[in-house]
Amino acid sequence: MPIDLPTVWAGIIAFAVLAYVVLDGFDLGIGILFPFFPERTNRDLMTNSIAPVWDGNETWLVLGGGGLLAVFPVVYATVLPALYMPIIAMLLGLVFRGVAFEFRWRTARGSIYWDVGFWLGSTIAAFTQGLALGALVQGITIVDNAYAGGWWDWLTPFSIICGLAVTVGYALLGATWLNLKMTGELQERSRRLALWTGVGTMALIGVVSLWSPFIDEIYFERWFQWPTAFFSAFVPTLLAACGFALWHGLTHDKHLQPFLAALGLFVLSFIGLGISFYPYIVPGALTIAEAAAPESSLMFLLVGASVLIPIILAYTGYAYWVFRGKIDPEEGYH
């Protein structure tokens, strides 16, 4: 039985994007939460909790973006022109966040300015990722395999709501990560923030989920017509279960459970997007098969990916294993 290489590669790209969201999401969330922790000592502990892994987490963004160019060049050539503004803003935010993360340790007097930069870069990166997602969901105008829309088509009420949802969701991941890694008053404050951001995340997921089916007939049919509606119903049910697990963990002094529940919200939301999109890679415009590179290229690249991805997974897992457990206030990565 021949391998459906375009679908295999769509799965690999989707996995890389999901890995980036769940791994880089919580350290972006740490930056978003900086204003709620004005004490220098607390901010040092917060950044120490992600210092060994934050830059490695962005490997998945490189893999997803580079893989998209190599495997689905038509998508790269049509979607990027539609999203130049949010993508450029996202990359600038990520760069500024990285610089601020390192430079805040180099000065005591000026660290407050780098802390503001860390917060601003993290927030801009998170919000623009949501903007880009919302713009993709609402549809991109493509004519003859070229972008045919306007410069500001990505900026709509729906994309703004998606931007808020991703930002609040990343803050939830950051708060539950701090609940996992910290102790004492810092952990307690993080737990309270996780409750509030959890409520906000669930509410915004609900708004986006109820809005999406009315954007495009394809989404409506996928979610509300038989037989796909039967399988689609499992996603909101599992989202509710994750929401309950999040609440239960935060109110019963659980440390790992809230973080896993928050990750579950993102994974299930991502699965919901996959249900809505498939078999399209650009909703309503390009299917996975139409956008794929030649099969010889897909096979050649798959050989490299089969070596590279296990290596990335191995060193990522090892890094998290080595730096597992609570953060010792007397010790630090820097």
Please report, for the chain, the start and end positions of each structural domain, with discontinuous segments joined by +.
5-323
pLDDT of residue 333: 55
CB atoms closer than 10 angstroms to residue 47:
24
Judge whether residue 25 has pLDDT over 80: yes
* Better pLDDT: 332 or 174: 174
Measure the CA angle with vertex 39, ends 37 and 44; round to 5°: 90
Query: What are the C-alpha distances in Å from 249 to residues 238, 245, 258, 276?
Result: 16, 6, 5, 30
Judge whether residue 331 has pLDDT over 70: no
Residues shown for the chain? 334
Judge whether residue 160 has pLDDT over 90: yes
Contact (CB, 8 A) for 123 and 200: no
Mean pLDDT, range 83-93, rounded to an integer: 93
> For the domain bounded by 5-323, which CATH number is listed?
1.20.1630
Judge whether residue 192 has pLDDT over 60: yes
Distance (Å, whole) CA 52 – CA 333: 7
Q: Which amino acid is at 105?
A: W
Distance (Å, whole) CA 69 – CA 87: 15
Would you call 52 helix, strand, or coil by DSSP? coil
Report the DSSP beta bridge partners of residue 143.
146
Mean pLDDT of all residues belonging to the chain: 88
Q: pLDDT confidence of 257, banded at 50, 70, 90?
A: very high
Q: Is 93 exposed, middle or buried (0-12, 13-18, 19+ CB in 10 A)?
A: buried
Least confident span in 135-139, 210-214, 217-221, 302-306: 217-221
221: left (phi over 0), alpha (psi -120 to 50) or beta: alpha
CB atoms closer than 10 angstroms to residue 1:
3
Judge whether residue 177 has pLDDT over 90: yes
Judge whether residue 334 has pLDDT over 80: no
Distance (Å, whole) CA 333 – CA 327: 10
Q: pLDDT confidence of 157, banded at 50, 70, 90?
A: very high
Contact (CB, 8 A) for 178 and 30: yes
Judge whether residue 332 has pLDDT over 70: no
Would you call 287 helix, strand, or coil by DSSP? strand
Contact (CB, 8 A) for 86 and 154: yes
Judge whether residue 270 has pLDDT over 60: yes
pLDDT of residue 189: 93
Query: What are the C-alpha distances in Å from 247 to residues 62, 72, 170, 235, 268?
Result: 34, 40, 17, 18, 17
Contact (CB, 8 A) for 146 and 78: yes
**Which one-letter DSSP state was computed for residue 213?**
G
* Better pLDDT: 60 or 179: 179
Distance (Å, whole) CA 55 – CA 39: 24
pLDDT of residue 139: 85
pTM for the model stands at 0.93
Mean pLDDT, range 169-191, rounded to an integer: 93
Across the chain, how many H-helices and E-strands are there? 15, 4
**Backbone phi, psi, residue 330, to 5°:** -85, -10
pLDDT of residue 275: 81
Distance (Å, whole) CA 82 – CA 152: 8
Containing 143, the helix (H) or strand (E) segment is: strand 142-143
**Which one-letter DSSP state was computed for residue 149?**
S
Judge whether residue 33 has pLDDT over 90: yes
Which of 27-36, 212-221, 266-275 has maximum average pLDDT?
27-36
* Better pLDDT: 145 or 296: 296
pLDDT of residue 65: 84
